Each structure stands twice: as structure tokens, then as C-alpha cells.
Chains A and B, each alone.
Chain A
């Protein structure tokens, strides 16, 4: 069965310090993986996606994620947090073929303090 586990429901960092949001997945196939961000009272915006090309994926707003098959992980990082990064982040597995379905993690709420 496919699943996604976001290991932290809340992460709090100071502005200017690194961000690490952790995600582990379970998939029978080589998955496509995504990170989406949701700012308060907004829809979901695609941050980045992994589709079996380079294992280090760069996204928007300075975020990047590394696909590690041996660890079944797809952690999201950013070297230096900005106040505007405060949002909820979702790690997502894409099931392709006849399903074309996304499986969402429960989300990680990132707080950034001055």
C-alpha cells in the first residue's frame, strides 16, 4: 500500500536559520513525489516535484528536496528561513497509471519567528 508520513506536525524556526521538513513514503513502485505549500486561507501551490530524474530537486522560493530511495525519504530543506515561509507544507505521493491519484501526508505547519 502507498502511504506518506510527515514526521513532524509542527516545526518552529527562527528567521535566517535552516528549515528541515521530514517526509517518508511507502510505495510499491518508483514514485513521483511532490511538496505543496498552503499559506493561510489560500489554496495549495506546487513547491517542487521529483519524477525519477535528478535526486536533488530544486523548487521555488529557495526550497529543495532530496529523494533517497534507500531511506524512502523526501525531506524538504531551505538554507535560511524567511517570515513569508510560515505556512503548512504537504508531502505527496503520486500514483500513476490507471489511478492518477495523489496521496497526501497530514501536513507540517512551519512557524518562523523573528
Chain B
């Protein structure tokens, strides 16, 4: 089954404790991206990757890092999380403009 998976689905952490949210797709898509969703703001792009070893900032990259060492994986790294990064995060991969979203990761930073 074609899908995008994210782990963990839910995470509660404390300020400053590094965390990684994994994302994997099995559709061989070159383009992947990360979004955060906040009430009233829709989805905003954090980072995107056009292919392996090619990443770039989206609209709200501050406080986040990504890497793309393999085509299928695109982890999101929060080196020192802060409460304003409490949000719902979505990973997506795309082909020809149509994006396929993962199920989301709900993060709470205390």
C-alpha cells in the first residue's frame, strides 16, 4: 500500500530536549516536505527536499533541521524544542504537485 508514515504519532517532551520525528514514504517520490498545522493558520511549510541531499527552507524553518540521506526518509529534528513548537506536524511526499500526507505527529513541548 502506498503510504507516508510518521513516528511517533504523539509526543510530550520538555523544553531543550532534542527530538526527532521520522518520516518515510514507499512511493519513490523525489519531493518531500514538512508542515506544521496551527489553529487558524492552515499548514505552513517548514522544510522541503527536492531529492537526496537536497533540502531547503520553507516558510517557518527556525528551530528545525532536516536531513535527506535516503530517498524514502526525511526526518525532522528539533535540537532544542521550545513551547512555541507545540503543534501538529505533517510529513508529505509528492508527485506532480499532488501531495500525499502522513497521519500527523502531535507534539507538546512543556
Q: Which of A36-87 contact B (CB under 8 A)?
A: 36, 42-46, 49, 51
Q: A43 CA to B94 CA in the complex, in Å?
A: 15
Selected contact of B42 from candidates A32, A94, A106, CB within 8 Å: A106
Q: A101 CA to B40 CA in the complex, in Å?
A: 20
Task: List chain A residues, Cβ under 8 A from B98.
Answer: 34, 46, 49
Do residues A90 and B97 form an inter-chain contact, with CB atoms below 8 A? no
Do residues A101 and B102 form an inter-chain contact, with CB atoms below 8 A? no
Q: Mark A82-114, 1 if CB is under 8 A from B, else 0.
A: 000000001000101000111011110000000
Q: How many residues of B contact A (CB 8 A)?
A: 22
Task: List chain B residues, Cβ under 8 A from A49.
Answer: 97-98
Interface segment out of the listed B12-20, B44-52, B79-87:
B44-52
Do residues B42 and A90 form an inter-chain contact, with CB atoms below 8 A? yes
Q: A100 CA to B48 CA in the complex, in Å?
A: 9
Q: Is the interface of B mostly helix, strand, loop or mixed?
A: strand
Q: A36 CA to B92 CA in the complex, in Å?
A: 13
Q: Which of B19-53 contact A (CB under 8 A)?
A: 31, 33, 35, 40-45, 48, 50
Closest A-chain residue to B58, C-beta based? Answer: A101
Q: Which of B74-110 contact A (CB under 8 A)?
A: 90, 94, 97-104
Q: How many residues of A contact B (CB 8 A)?
A: 21
Task: List chain B residues, Cβ under 8 A from A46.
Answer: 98-100
Do residues A90 and B103 form an inter-chain contact, with CB atoms below 8 A? no
Task: List chain B residues, Cβ under 8 A from A107.
Answer: 40, 42
Task: List chain A residues, Cβ under 8 A from B90.
Answer: 43-44
10 A-B residue pairings within 8 Å (CB atoms): A32-B97, A34-B97, A43-B103, A90-B42, A96-B97, A100-B31, A100-B94, A101-B58, A104-B35, A104-B43
